[in-house]
Structure 1
Amino acid sequence: MWALIWGAVAASSLVIGAVLGVVRKWNDRVIGAVLGFGAGALMSSVSFELVADGLSVAGGLPVALGLAAGALAFYLGDKGVERLGGRSGKTAAGMPLLLGALLDGIPEQAVLGIGLAAGKGVSVALLVAIFVSNLPEAIGSSADMRSAGTKARTIILGWSIVAVVCTLAAVAGYGVSALVGDPFAGAVDGFAAGALLVMLVSSMIPEATQKAGKAAALVAVLGFAVAAGLSAAG
């Protein structure tokens, strides 16, 4: 139940972003700055939440294998989305955009469930990082879809479906982690970390820099610092 609740809280920003993207036009620099902050926060969560926890419960080898598997899985999935037009850098409406968001969101959300299954409660730092990083993606994609002529109701419905699937990913992460031993749990942490790192380097950070310029780097450090502080406080 808690995995479902916290997963829904994190995924709700996808729907909020979709609504914001439909109702008004947003400056690219603002979107880029929010992306940069979210990227920094996610980097902190990968370092202090995923990799650190995985090493503590399973050791280096399972985490390393998980990192490699997660990175490869996201890379191949991302290539598939790119072929559909979802990562082309051009205005694209419809399913490719939603697939891209789904690909980004599943490993993020699964990590929330993994932490809950380990008895550590919800990671506030990771929750904030996911919530913030979802907003600009949903805002930008929804604005593009609206400009391409997609109805507002269809856009919001599509993003709501993505949010539901991402919420269920948190529940799945909880279930998998609760059923397996520590070595596999460490590998799952590594898998999520590898997927997130490839996503950050291949799409989130470049997009933040493209939209906000060099200021994105400063905002990313701020996001890293905030998330690191939240991790330490938790």
Structure 2
Amino acid sequence: MMPVFVQAGLWGLFSASGLTIGALLAVTLYGRLSHRVIAGVMGFGGGVLIAVVAVELMTEAYTRGDPLSAVAGLIAGGAVFSFINWRLAEHGAKNRNRCGDCVAQPSETDQKGSGLAIAVGAVLDGIPEALVIGLSLLGGGKLAAGVVAGFFLANIPQGLSSASGMRSAGRSRRYIFTVWLGIPVITAAAAALGALVLGSASNEIPAVILAFAAGAVLAMLAEAMIPEAFENAQPFIGLITVIGFLAAFLLLQLH
């Protein structure tokens, strides 16, 4: 049977490949997708992530551990993500998930070093996902299919919007594909490492880490996805977000 850490790595690679698909769509359709279309897709992805956090991650963290650990982990995850994101924003990564229409990403000419900051920010966005997937198989694979599918669906709009913004900022296709081919590999490695390191841990530690990851995902959603989804958005963006939530909720319930 395939080792658990290898399975976690493959799940991580699959879920993060949604970023690559989104980037490919952005490069292929560049100039033909309006901000409103991209915002609608981002709203759907945001609804998916809300369902994953609320229905699976926090529920599982609460069940595995205790209420205090779940609350502390959630707040810590949000605080750590927001702090690092704030520091990266000072170097040009604040608008890394914007498509470039309403709010433009900085070019290297506008802010030197912004390309590296954006790439690091993309890695930051994927780390909570890797933590969740690395832990998901430790309980016999209970979380894996539904959560990974949710992350995959949410990653497509992130890759689409961010890569569109990179193109608008004048970044090369080589840069774009280096980022969005590299992130899935990093996510896979981090997921495998998480499963390997925490394979013998008690339920309490994975519970805290799941809550930590949930807080980081929720903070990422608020700071990196929602602004793009709701600024100058098309009518019924709220309904589109609800549909994304419902799609992920039903997927998780079927699993």
Q: TM-score, normalised by structure 1?
A: 0.91
d(CA) in 1 for partners of 2:14 and 2:211? Answer: 24
Higher helix proportion (structure 1 or 2): 1
Paired residues of 1:34 and 1:133 also in contact (CA < 8 A): no
Paired residues of 1:31 and 1:208 also in contact (CA < 8 A): yes
Equivalences for 1:1-234 in 2 at 5 Å?
1-25=6-30, 26-88=33-95, 89-93=103-107, 94-210=115-231, 212-234=233-255
**What is the aligned-residue RMSD (CA, Å)?**
1.8
d(CA) in 2 for partners of 1:116 and 1:211? Answer: 40
Instruction: Encode CA deviations 1:71-97: one digit per residue, 9 max, x unaligned.
Output: 111011110121111114432242232
Counterpart residue type for residue 89 of structure 2: E
d(CA) in 2 for partners of 1:84 and 1:211? Answer: 26
User: Which range moves more in the overlay, 193-202 or 129-138?
Assistant: 129-138
Inter-CA distance 21–85: structure 2 relative to 1 (3 Å threshold): same
Instruction: Encode CA deviations 1:15-36: one digit per residue, 9 max, x unaligned.
Output: 2222222222222122111211
Identity, % of aligned positions: 34
d(CA) in 1 for partners of 2:26 and 2:154? Answer: 15
Report the secondary structure of 2:141's partner residue.
coil
d(CA) in 2 for partners of 1:43 and 1:29? Answer: 21
Inter-CA distance 125–220: structure 2 relative to 1 (3 Å threshold): farther
d(CA) in 2 for partners of 1:216 and 1:100? Answer: 26
Deviation at 1:157, TM superposition (A): 1.6
Counterpart residue type for residue 31 of structure 1: I
Inter-CA distance 223–123: structure 2 relative to 1 (3 Å threshold): farther
Paired residues of 1:41 and 1:126 also in contact (CA < 8 A): no
d(CA) in 2 for partners of 1:198 and 1:71? Answer: 5
d(CA) in 2 for partners of 1:45 and 1:90? Answer: 29
d(CA) in 1 for partners of 2:192 and 2:147? Answer: 16
Report the secondary structure of 1:212's partner residue.
coil
Instruction: Encode CA deviations 1:123-160: one digit per residue, 9 max, x unaligned.
Output: 33322321222222222222232233332123212221
Deviation at 1:207, TM superposition (A): 1.6
Q: TM-score, normalised by structure 2?
A: 0.84
d(CA) in 2 for partners of 1:113 and 1:182? Answer: 14
Inter-CA distance 189–100: structure 2 relative to 1 (3 Å threshold): same
Paired residues of 2:131 and 2:210 also in contact (CA < 8 A): no
d(CA) in 1 for partners of 2:29 and 2:232? Answer: 18
d(CA) in 1 for partners of 2:140 and 2:157? Answer: 31
Inter-CA distance 118–211: structure 2 relative to 1 (3 Å threshold): farther
Paired residues of 2:104 and 2:168 also in contact (CA < 8 A): no
Deviation at 1:183, TM superposition (A): 1.1
d(CA) in 2 for partners of 1:121 and 1:73? Answer: 27
